[in-house]
Amino acid sequence: MNNIYSYPKTKLEKYFLSIGEKKYKATQVFEWLYIKKERDVNNFSNLKKEIREKIKEDFSFDMPIIKKIESDVDTKKYLFELSDKNYIEAVVMYHNYGISLCVSSQVGCNMGCAFCESGRLKKVRDLETFEMVSEILLIEEDIKERISSIVIMGIGEPLDNFENIKDFINIINDPKGLAIGIRHITLSTSGIIPKIYELMELDTDINLAISLHAPNDELRNKLMKVNKVYNISQLMTAIKDYTKRTSRRVTIEYVMLKGINDSKEHAKELSRLLKGLNVYVNLIPYNETNHLNFSKSSKKAINDFCFILKDQGINVTIRKEFGSKISAACGQLRSKEVEK
């Protein structure tokens, strides 16, 4: 049975037309699901009883369950149990400009980045659209506040689950859905270049973030397996094409790993690589995990790195550290539960 939270409004319109009803019924259903947050179809009072019964017959309203919550000063991490007993996680971050939520797109990840806890347990399956939408709905219900921005950079590679991601974005961006502005949605990819071009063809204003983490192929090959398929040169070309087509600036994510990619020479090399591109760099202090042999760069190393980029005319910020007192590394809470 299809889950109703997997249906963007356009697909729901086709459904209603297929059963001989007017397509505006889809808008009415969306208002109940996402504006009034009503899960019981019996309460959809502006729909005829026969339609309500048909919806119950054709759709599931099931959601994952919140298994565990860990809290820090400005962060809450949620562990979800899915219907097949797999686990995913999502992280709420409180900023002075609003509340952002980092959502997962897969159970595990096959990208195999050396420093990443998410990929250590490998991909089990893609998340269905409704499972991603549920992350937002269940967390909003728990915190009793509205999520103002979404980052798709939790467990998984979003562009490896592209069809479900497209439906997810449609639902959360829809004015009758969760009404999250497209410029408040960021998709992070390790660099699956053909899918970046497919994303470009959607003509959307979504924010694109590239997980780079190294200024040259030799180092990136060691850190990120995807680079052996789509190297840095190809990635830079894709970034140029993306910014030209969309007129949107691309974020370059760079996790700071002690003694690995954080030297002044690495900073100078990264500056040369990005010179003239419409990008800005987000330096990310590494969240350490017991399972992987990487350490966080010192504050001095991060600040020195940042200064060199700025001095070379590169736009750069240092990401605020979130969740240092909880299972902060992406996938860490899930792996703890799985390994029990």
Compute the average pLDDT of residues 226-237: 98
Of 22, 45, 60, which residue is a domain's last? 60
> What is the DSSP pairing of strand 75-81 with strand 65-71?
antiparallel
Compute the average pLDDT of residues 124-128: 97
User: Active site residue: 13, 70, 89, 131, which one?
Assistant: 89
* CB burial of residue 235 (10 Å; 0-12, 13-18, 19+): buried
Q: Is residue 79 within 8 Å of 69, Cβ to Cβ?
A: yes
Task: Give residue 288's pLDDT band: very low, low, confident or very high (50, 70, 90).
Answer: confident
Based on the residue annotation, tell me whether 116 is a catalytic residue of this protein. no
Answer yes or no: is pLDDT of 97 > 60: yes
Answer yes or no: is pLDDT of 204 > 70: yes
Give residue 331's pLDDT: 56
Both 31 and 164 in a single domain?
Answer: no
Task: Give which of 153, 200, 205, 167 is closest to 183, Cα–Cα.
Answer: 205
Compute the average pLDDT of residues 236-248: 95
Compute the average pLDDT of residues 50-66: 98
Compute the average pLDDT of residues 27-47: 97
Of 60, 86, 108, which residue is a domain's last? 60
Can you give the CATH number for the domain in which 212 is found? 3.20.20.70
Residue 273 neighbours by CB distance under 10 Å: 19
Which structural domain, as residue segments, surrounds residue 26?
2-60
Both 270 and 146 in a single domain?
Answer: yes
Both 19 and 85 in a single domain?
Answer: no
d(CA 208, CA 247): 12
Both 108 and 244 in a single domain?
Answer: yes
Instruction: Tally the residues of the chain.
Output: 340
Of 60, 81, 105, which residue is a domain's last? 60
Can you give the CATH number for the domain in which 14 is found? 1.10.150.530
Give residue 325's pLDDT: 59
User: Active site residue: 102, 113, 116, 330, which one?
Assistant: 330
DSSP classification of residue 296: B
Both 43 and 92 in a single domain?
Answer: no
Give residue 92's pLDDT: 96
Coil, strand or helix at 208: strand
Task: Give residue 292's pLDDT band: very low, low, confident or very high (50, 70, 90).
Answer: confident
Task: Give residue 330's pLDDT band: very low, low, confident or very high (50, 70, 90).
Answer: low
Give residue 157's pLDDT: 97
Based on the residue annotation, tell me whether 102 is a catalytic residue of this protein. no
**Count: domains in the chain:** 2
Provide the whole-model pTM.
0.94
